Chains A and B, each alone.
Chain A
């Protein structure tokens, strides 16, 4: 930890891992929960309501020794209204940088909020189709065909899976 002269607290850069930048302000904790980062045993830094030149305010997550799967990238895209930026770090260098784009379908991580859906009773790969309905993003469960808004999304952590 380095304390600069201007009373600014700086956090160490990570040597290897991922920085998720430009997250919609306030969504960082939900994304951290969705990615089940509390189970990750390496250093994680969560910044909330950080100043941003492009967004006014943003959240940011730095995760050491972690690379996202496509499913995790898709979920971050769903939860952050403005496209989050993934920076993949190796040896302190950004080797890959890309925006999380909202997909047309998303699998596995999100659980269906409908308690009567068969995916909440039998082990089934969860799949959602992403639809735009009058400028509102909706997720349609492939199985029960019910539609849900972004803020109804729940995540499949170890505690939720297979009751």
Chain B
């Protein structure tokens, strides 16, 4: 077991903490990260992380998350080691994850980890004395995606609280919507869950929201709610998470957002998507002023850079 504080998650000073789940952060801590990201976006600091090394450990495929972390590290003056495919490591020889992480601890100052098993990031964090950032553990958590989603919402709407937000698509398997829904517990939002019955938001998350007094409702279509929305958050139906192909075939084309759906959106409404998209947003939507998903992805650079700066002690928490 590492010497890091065990079983405490909230209100730990940043240089000593891990980033495992968005629920580990208080509202003040989330707002502090967003403030630092805003500052970095406006005033780049190309030498901030000089001399620091990021271990990028991806046991599952990733484009945006891995590249945005690695790019953020390079742009801030740091370096990156790691792998993008678990099959290229000693895990293929059945090495335990904690052993792999103990080795990475010798080579780097901070670890980012994406792994197919739930809880992997916490196990890694418990094994080492350097910060571990969860870049996605199965269908479970994806805290940095949530931070950049909140940053984008705040940037486009001027606030996070008091908004009408629809989460659409695969709410059962989507770790991004799970994390985002949990973060919304800190900010009083009105949530609309738009999904087929097979892919509804898990009861556990709904229970947490109910406990925090967050209003939400279930819908099969956007009809009747689209004109109210400030944020329309689309997600991909995740074929790779289905146990049976026939279940996927039943739901795969349930939500297809096209340009003529946009006419009822509020002028200030923004369409977000954690990407990659498949068919759920038609490319014709890209040119609409509502489409904000590529800018959203770019914000990952600033949010992840701010997080790295805080965790490595190069930025002081506000």
Contacts and interface: CB of A to CB of B under 8 A. Distances in A.
Given A116-B118, A117-B119, A144-B137, 8 more contacts: A114-B118, A118-B97, A122-B117, A122-B123, A133-B207, A142-B7, A145-B119, A146-B118
Question: Chain A interface residue count: which class?
Answer: 20 to 34
B204 interface: yes
Interface string A111-129: 0101011110111100101
Contacts of A143: 118-120, 122-123
Nearest to A143: B119
List of 10 A-B pairs having minimum Cβ-Cβ separation, nearest first: A143-B119, A144-B119, A144-B118, A118-B117, A118-B119, A143-B122, A116-B118, A118-B120, A117-B119, A145-B21
A154 interface: no
Nearest to A119: B119
Interface residues of B, number: 22
A contact face: mostly helix, strand, loop, or mixed: loop
B65 interface: no
Interface of B: 7, 20-21, 23, 96-98, 115, 117-120, 122-123, 137-141, 204, 207, 211
A141 B120 CA distance: 12
A101 to B, nearest CB: 18
Contact of B123 (A105, A118, A134, A145): A118
Nearest to A146: B204
A107 to B, nearest CB: 10
A80 interface: no
A105 B138 contact: no
A87 interface: no
Contacts of A141: 119
A105 B207 CA distance: 22
A147 interface: yes
